Amino acid sequence: MSHTHPEGPELTDSERAFRAEAREWLAAHNPGRLPSMDTDEGAALHRAWEATLAEGRWSVVAWPEQYGGREASLTEWVIFEEEYYLAGAPTRIAQNGISLLAPIIFEHGTPEQQERWLRPMTDGSLIWAQAWSEPEAGSDLAGIRSRAVRDDERGGWVLSGQKTWSSRAPFADRGFGLFRTDPEAARHRGLTYMTFPLDVPGITVRPVHQLDGDAGFAEIFFDDVFVPDADVLGGVGDGWRVAMSTAGNERGLSLRAPGRFMAAADRLLDLWAERGADAPHLRDRVVDAWIGAEAYRLYTWGTVDKLAGGGDMGADGSVNKLFWSELDLELHETALDLLGPEAELRGPGAPSGGSWVDDHLFSLAGPIYAGTNEIQRNIVAERILGLPRGENRRAGA
Amino acid sequence: MRFSLNDEQRSFASAIDGLLAGADVPAINRAWGAGDTAPGLALWGRLAELGVPALTVPEEAGGIGASPLDLVVAFELLGRHGVPGPWIESVAVAPLLLADTPHADLLEGLAEGTVRATLAVDGIAPYALDADAATHVFHVSPAGLAVAEAGEAMASVDPSRRLFPVTAGERTPLAEGALDRALDLAALATAAAQVGAADRMLRTAVEYVGQRRQFGRVIGEYQAVKHRLADVKVSLDFARPLVHGAALELEEKSPTAPRAVSAAKVFASETAHSAGRAALQMHGAIGYTLECDLSIWLLRSRALHGAWGTVAAHRARVLDHLTTAR
């Protein structure tokens, strides 16, 4: 595959060597596109791929060596992500665990929890489902109603209620989310960060089919599910603060390294070379999509610099999320427009095996998950631009 | 790619910003538009004390020999404050073109701020900006550089820009590659000025909607208002890395530098356009008047949309590089 996005010019020799090693390993091991991870067959293949990644120590490059990582710097991590996407390697079934939960476990987990959960989530043997949303609480996490009631006798908590849009739940091993442990406390207070197994009595997982037809998420019903104290993450009643650091991760850098968009922009240019002559009116959109991916790459390096200098993402994560989610949509919509009437075909026989339409369907979710773009715009307007909060109009978090 | 500004660049920026913030540039801009160039030229002299016109003049000719990133820092601020005059022409373009020609003796004056050059370039800048306020007027074509005579002034959409057709005299050849490099630097400086204009229009709009009341509320409380300004902020935050990245590529003479410059010009100009549209909408009717300062940036950004390579031409250049490089 051709790379139209130049590599950073100021990489050190060891960063270049890291890139070369990653590229070489991926070239030798990458299975390419796998069947959807939200199917029985696909989930098994994705788990196996996680195991292969772990064997090569590429599963969690930024983690400490004791948990299978390489202690890669932020720069190296971005380099790895670039190589990963440019190689067209599979999506990561372990992402919920690695990106969303692990930072919390590192920061708030007990040594025992770290020992029990971290290593298995790096090799595909422990796949996590995130369980943030509830039917009545979408982006408004403070509106969570699912409850955890104290059970002193057994030394733990009894969960009841319902979660929804729980990604990976149909094929995962455990879940994590917030539960209300103090119903009297104010919205943000009285929440506790719980983890729970998905295969115990009292838990019902009802797969929900997404626009792409796969059971990518599920409803989870909790009917007096016992969770021991050992499975509570962080302090009781401290769930909001604990969770917010993952929400920041999800909206910000960790979820969307630039490689994904750079690779899609490269594929779009290939498609333009093939089909552009029939659709000259799409030229500007092709160019703008590429420029957008390039802007995202450069912005990310700026963020890496800022974080390396001791800064934090803060509300910039919302700027980031707004940009990539809109860019992702536009990249894929442009590709579909280039494909013309064939764009609606899916599966074998479709152009590129239907990958453009599949990826487009995935991109449609971008402005919705990880905090809707409306919530993100409120955050940007209020926290970054300093516009006034209206009465009863709080910007999410 | 690492392009955080260093301490020196940050203090250079804050010196320019401080000077311009205290100079009532909107009044200077309006005077310039009305034909009174004296305050604008005085401002030129004060910016010269900070070294702005000396940036691209080589050290051996009395200049600073600064990097394209330094240039970007300066032009974002000139754009943000709406400084009038042939700055892009004099600072970004002229020094590169004049070097190694019989006009090289002008470089020292350019660096000092006593020489102000403007120029028309065949096919890309058909009129010389503010020839009446410049000390030297040139015409440039691939065949070379010529001293030129300015004709009758023509009005621009931006009242602070006067455009002059020129008649060229005898040509002297340019150094190899000088024209291409000068045009890239001009497009980069234009992109930086557009980022500055976008930033200013966003700030102006944020300030306005924070105090303007309608239906019993500050209008900044309305989501429709918030969301539109948030989108401008997002665009602005992604325009700057493109401009800074292009500056680094130019400095390193990377083979993809022209593509990076064009990408920056496209994105920065579109950002300024959307910032202008949003700011105008937020202001309502008052924004549609010349007495509102917003007009300074709104009309300037429209003029710069087509200056030093139209957005359409730069888009075409990006795609051309991408498709031929593959």
Interface predicted TM-score (ipTM): 0.96
| DSSP state letter for B219 | G
Cβ <8 Å between A305 and B323: no
Nearest-by-Cβ selection for B318 from A291, A309, A374: A291
Give the pLDDT score at A201: 93
**Which residues in chain B have Cβ-Cβ distances shorter than 8 Å to A16?**
none
pLDDT > 80? residue B115: yes
For residue A10, the distance in angstroms to the closest alpha carbon of chain B comes to 6
Mean pLDDT of the B232-249 span: 97
Looking at residue A397, its pLDDT comes to 41
Q: A269 contacts in B (CB within 8 Å)?
A: 322-323, 326
Percentage of chain A exceeding pLDDT 70: 93
Q: Point out the catalytic residue in the list A82, A250, A344, A382.
A: A250
**Confidence (pLDDT) at B247:** 97
> Does the CB of A301 have a partner CB in chain B at under 8 Å?
yes
CA distances from B280 to A364, A368, B104, B284, B297 (A): 31, 29, 44, 6, 11
CB < 8 Å to B206, chain A: 385-387
For residues A268 and A252, give the distance between their C-alpha atoms in angstroms, rounded to a whole number. Answer: 25
Question: Residue B50 in 3-state DSSP?
Answer: coil
pLDDT score of A396: 46
Low-confidence ranges of chain A (pLDDT < 50): 1, 251-252, 392, 395-397
Distance CA A236, CA B63 (A): 65
Chain A residues touching B260 at Cβ < 8 A: 294
Summarize the confidence of residues B16-33 as an average pLDDT. 98
**Whether B230 and A380 lie within 8 Å, measured CB to CB:** yes
Closest Cα of chain B to A264: distance in Å? 14
Q: Is A201 helix (H, G, I), strand (E, B) or coil?
A: coil
DSSP A9: T
A55 an active-site residue? no
Check pLDDT > 90 for residue B78: yes
CB pair distance less than 8 Å for A299 and B238: yes
Is the CB of residue B283 less than 8 Å from the CB of residue B275? Answer: no
Helix, strand, coil percentages, rounded to 5, for chain B = 60, 10, 25
| Chain A residues near residue B238 by CB distance under 8 angstroms | 292, 295-296, 299, 323
Residue B259: Cβ within 10 Å count: 25
The pLDDT > 70 percentage for chain B reads: 98
Q: What is the pLDDT of residue B154?
A: 97
Q: Distance between CA atoms of B48 and B62, rounded to whole angstroms?
A: 12
In the prediction, which pLDDT does A248 show?
A: 58
Are B223 and A393 in contact (CB < 8 Å)? Answer: yes
- B265: tokens are 């010009």
Q: Positive or negative CA dihedral for B160, B163, B164, B169?
A: positive
Per the CB < 8 A criterion, the answer to whether A72 and A80 are in contact is: yes
Please check the confidence at residue B103 and state whether its pLDDT lies above 90.
yes
Q: How many angstroms separate the CA of residue B166 from the nearest CA in chain A?
A: 33
Separation in Å, CA B228 to CA A271, A371, A376, A394, B201: 33, 18, 12, 17, 13
Per-residue pLDDT at A7 = 63
Whether the CB-CB separation of B56 and B91 falls below 8 Å is answered with yes
CA distance A195 to A174: 7
Give A262→chain B minimum CA distance, Å. 13
Angle at the Cα of A307 (from A194 to B201), degrees rounded to 5? 105
Provide the number of CB pairs (under 8 Å) joining chain A to chain B. Answer: 139
Put simply, the answer to whether B3 touches A301 (Cβ < 8 Å) is yes
Q: How many CB atoms lie within 10 A of CB B94?
A: 31
Q: Please give the Cα distance from A277 to A271 (Å, whole number).
A: 11
Are A269 and B322 in contact (CB < 8 Å)? Answer: yes
pLDDT, residue A143, reads 84
Instruction: State how far the Cα of B111 lies from the Cα of B57, in Å rounded to an integer.
Output: 6
Kindly report the nearest CA distance between residue B311 and chain A, in angstroms. Answer: 10
Would an 8 Å CB–CB cutoff place A226 in contact with chain B?
no
Cα atoms in the Cβ-side hemisphere of radius 13 Å centred on A63: 23
> What pLDDT is stored for residue A8 in this prediction?
59
> Which residues does B255 contact at the CB level (< 8 Å), separation at least 6?
none
Asked if A386 and B206 come within 8 Å (Cβ–Cβ), the reply is yes
> pLDDT value at position B40?
98
- Residues of A within 8 A of B218 (CB-CB) are 388
